Structure 1
Amino acid sequence: MSTNGVNGHGPERKLVPGINVPMVAFFKDNEDVDVEATAKHTVRLAKAGMTALTCQGSNGEAVHLTAEERKQIISAARKALDDAGFTSLPLIAGCSAQSTRETISLCKDAKAAGADYALTLPPNYYKTSYARSDLLQFYKDLATDSPIPICIYNYPGAVAGIDLDSDAIIELAKHPNIVGCKLTCGNTGKLNRIAHSVKAATPKASNSGWMCMGGSADFTLQTLIAGGSGIITGLGNIAPKACVKVYDLYAEGKVEEAQKMQAIVARGDWGVIAGGISGTKSAMISHFGYGGYSRRPLPRPTKEEDARWKEALAEIVELENSLPDKF
């Protein structure tokens, strides 16, 4: 297993253990992409101590974006990072499509726009026609032809229940251009099996450099204790410093302190999970004054819902506001 690409030249910005945020997408009132808000949010997350950032994850409304808008957002994020001095921070782009051909095309677009890695779901529209071997071949073909390394995105809820097991991901990890996974399935047993098989990078050891990431902040400690590399979490859009602090406390051996903070983070994460993208952006507006609304047909929250999501995230925001930026 290697972080080098299939052509022998891996990206200059290496993935390292830590916390990664799948950034929400920002739109103006007319639903055009809001580049200014994208840049502002990107820098806020970088200052909080992210070890990588993701555009066009599930929180980034990838399915609502055109190919050109995907490139526009990636370019805006990369420029914002570079202008703010975060030139070494890696950028991951969601590059999921239903055909191998289009997925490869999205990976090429992502690289051209400034992304270093691609996060990719398995195809699912013709689920009943796919054997396990077809899904494995999809990733192998994609990784062979993609100009940037691939991270496997295992999120059964987004792909008609397709759930790659540990044996499948361990097999795919042998490909030199597949460098990690995000397990939004929440299966820590699976994570443990994968992490130890691939000698995943951890807070205390780089090992193979392979990233075995959990997909939700409510099991950050469980992920790290199981040998994982960190978390890619939507809660980080609201409380990036708090998410990073749990990781840092564990890495410093302050497990009891990490457990106490994890409890607050887990409660906050439930608010994000329950509210979805619309609830997350509503809470961002209530607590931080920016965020905007999602693209239709995602609903705009009612006043009652705005109040609910504000209250649901109040505790984690209080913790967030008490913490200093890491950079």
Structure 2
Amino acid sequence: MNRDSVDWRGYMPAITTPFDEHGELDLGALRSLLEWLAGEGMHGLVVAGTTGEWFSMTADEKATLFGAVGEVLRGDLPLIAGCNAFTAQEVVRNAMTAERSGFDGILVTPPPYVRPCEREVIAFYEDVDRETPLPICIYNWPPGTNIDLSRETLEHLSDLEHVVAIKNSTGSPAHFIDVMRALRDKVRIFGIPMTEEGMQLVLQDAADGTMGAGAVLGRTQPEFYNALWAGDTERGLAAARQDTRIMREWFRPDYTARYGSAQAIFKTALNLQGLPGGYPRRPILPLQESEVAMVRTTLEELGRL
């Protein structure tokens, strides 16, 4: 497999997982959210990623989540399953569940908390690659793993049989561009910022896309790519300005939240717009009133409310 084995590109948001006030999966809200996302023209979806609170779900809950998503959207747009875990065996079990549910690929970080060395990271992905039934998107997420995978490590991993993409959520723009230009002919690279700089990467380097931000601006976010692919840079810039606004006001340069947690921010943003964001699940807590007000102010100034 390689980048040409999949058709993933554009805006593929890492979506929220709706829970009810008791912390249970809210499948009715999930179905409504999925139908809205599809109607807003997303180019694909990442389910049970960092934004989707994978870390607080059991294997059975993930199976329920993947099954519900597959029932609504399998075959309609690319579906990527967050299969993160501490061991390769658990990643593979999640991947097999995702395959049965109609998913098209899996997203996998190095084991969180463990902080494995380079040799151990490579062995972990080799173990996953050996058994996975689906294409792999490697997820470089330094805030969650305390590792910023080097270009050399990513070059090695891009040669594995099932690796077709990298979501490079590094806080270093120079590192991102270095990896993208070194590996773009082998694997798809996600993590393009919706900025003027990101626009140039799309126009000049045929950059692949973005996975993140929960699609809280609806069709505005895929519109960034649609416009640029159509050669309409002004329309692309208009979309970029809105995404840049939420990223600047809600997040730090390393993509961690300026207040509360990212999951709670995105769910609040959806809820304020009358969309089914639902509640976060502990250990993630709902935003405080002053923090909700900050999200509301941003959305009001963007004309979303």
TM normalised by structure 1 equals 0.82
- Superposition map of 1:105-254 within 5 A: 105-127=93-115, 130-159=116-145, 161-200=146-185, 210-214=187-191, 217=194, 220-221=198-199, 223-224=201-202, 225-236=204-215, 238-254=216-232
Q: Distance in 2 between matches of 1:199 and 1:290?
A: 36
- 8 A contact 1:217–1:233 mirrored in 2: no
1:49 pairs, out of 24, 41, 45, with: 41
The Cα of 1:211 is off from its aligned counterpart by 1.7
Q: Which residue of 2 aligns with 1:203?
A: none
Is residue 85 of structure 2 the alignment partner of residue 97 of structure 1?
Answer: yes
One-letter amino acid matched to 1:103: V
120 and 277 in structure 1: CA distance in 2 versus 1, 3 angstrom threshold: same
Aligned residues: 295
Percent identity for Structure 1 against Structure 2 = 24
Q: Any idea what SS the aligned residue of 1:22 has?
A: coil
- 8 A contact 1:220–1:246 mirrored in 2: no
Aligned alpha-carbon RMSD (Å): 2.3
Q: Which residue of 2 aligns with 1:59?
A: 51
191 and 147 in structure 1: CA distance in 2 versus 1, 3 angstrom threshold: same
- 8 A contact 1:216–1:234 mirrored in 2: no
Q: Distance in 1 between matches of 2:76 and 2:276?
A: 26
Q: Any idea what SS the aligned residue of 2:280 has?
A: coil
314 and 220 in structure 1: CA distance in 2 versus 1, 3 angstrom threshold: farther
Is residue 9 of structure 2 the alignment partner of residue 21 of structure 1?
Answer: no
Q: Distance in 2 between matches of 1:311 and 1:295?
A: 24
Q: Distance in 2 between matches of 1:296 and 1:263?
A: 33
Q: Any idea what SS the aligned residue of 1:69 has?
A: helix
Q: CA-to-partner distance for each residue in 1:201-228, whole Å, 9 max, x for gaps?
A: xxxxxxx6x3210065457425525542
Q: Distance in 2 between matches of 1:299 and 1:124?
A: 21
TM normalised by structure 2 equals 0.88
Q: Distance in 2 between matches of 1:271 and 1:290?
A: 22
One-letter amino acid matched to 1:189: A
Q: Distance in 2 between matches of 1:317 and 1:27?
A: 27
Q: Distance in 2 between matches of 1:289 and 1:52?
A: 19
One-letter amino acid matched to 1:175: L
The Cα of 1:289 is off from its aligned counterpart by 4.3
Q: Which runs of 5+ in 2 are unaligned?
A: 252-257
One-letter amino acid matched to 1:261: A
